[in-house]
Homo-oligomer: A and B are copies of this chain.
Amino acid sequence: MNVIEAINPRRSIRQYTGEVINDEQLKILLRAGFQAPSAHNFQPQEYIVIKDSKTLELIAERHKYAKALPLAGCGIVVCGDLDKESREGSLIADCSASIQNILLAVHGLDLGAVWIGLHPVKEFSEIISEILDIPEHVIPIGIVAVGHPDVQKEAINRYNEEKIHKEKW
């Protein structure tokens, strides 16, 4: 699958067959996350992989946008370490680049995923930190719920000339 062909039709997938991704697929996804750039190459990204069904269900019960997690069967929590990058905004940018890489790699493997937001919604990030024993200097930025898709979604063209400014705003 060509990179541009992968970027353009990718959609968020929230319906899964229940089959859990295997270790080889997981490694490809994590590798994609690691390959994202980071400001000053500080590489503050850390990953927590959850496959335990009890943990996935607990998160889905307590985070209203995480209902897809148990059936997906796998969640990759992308976190940023403030000891490596002290600027919260840069931490969000670095982790978001990793999440986007993972989402595209998911699509390249014919799997399906959805980005579940955590930080900056304090309620959500605190729930996850508590459940996963994340230390204070680490901020969970988002969870990628990933599994085998049970739905085919049409591509959407979001290109919008009105949002393109030439030379100045």
How does the 8 Å CB contact mask read for A102-139 relative to B, with 1 for contact and 0 for none?
01110111000001010111000000000011110010
Complex CA–CA separation, A99 to B7 (angstroms): 12
Contact of A34 among B51, B93, B132, B160 (CB under 8 A): B160
Dominant SS among interface residues on chain A: mixed
When distances are taken between beta carbons in the complex, the residues of chain B under 8 Å from A99 are 93, 97
Q: Decide: A164 near B2, CB < 8 A? Known: A35-B8, A90-B117, A97-B100.
A: no
Complex CA–CA separation, A101 to B9 (angstroms): 12
Contact A93 B90 (CB under 8 A): no
Contact A167 B96 (CB under 8 A): no
Nearest 8 A-B pairs (CB), nearest first? A89-B120, A3-B108, A96-B96, A3-B6, A100-B100, A34-B158, A97-B100, A93-B96
With A47-B165, A100-B100, A133-B169 known, 20 other A-B pairs at CB within 8 A are A2-B108, A3-B108, A4-B109, A7-B101, A30-B159, A30-B164, A31-B157, A34-B163, A37-B103, A43-B158, A46-B163, A48-B168, A49-B164, A49-B165, A49-B166, A93-B142, A97-B97, A97-B99, A101-B104, A104-B104
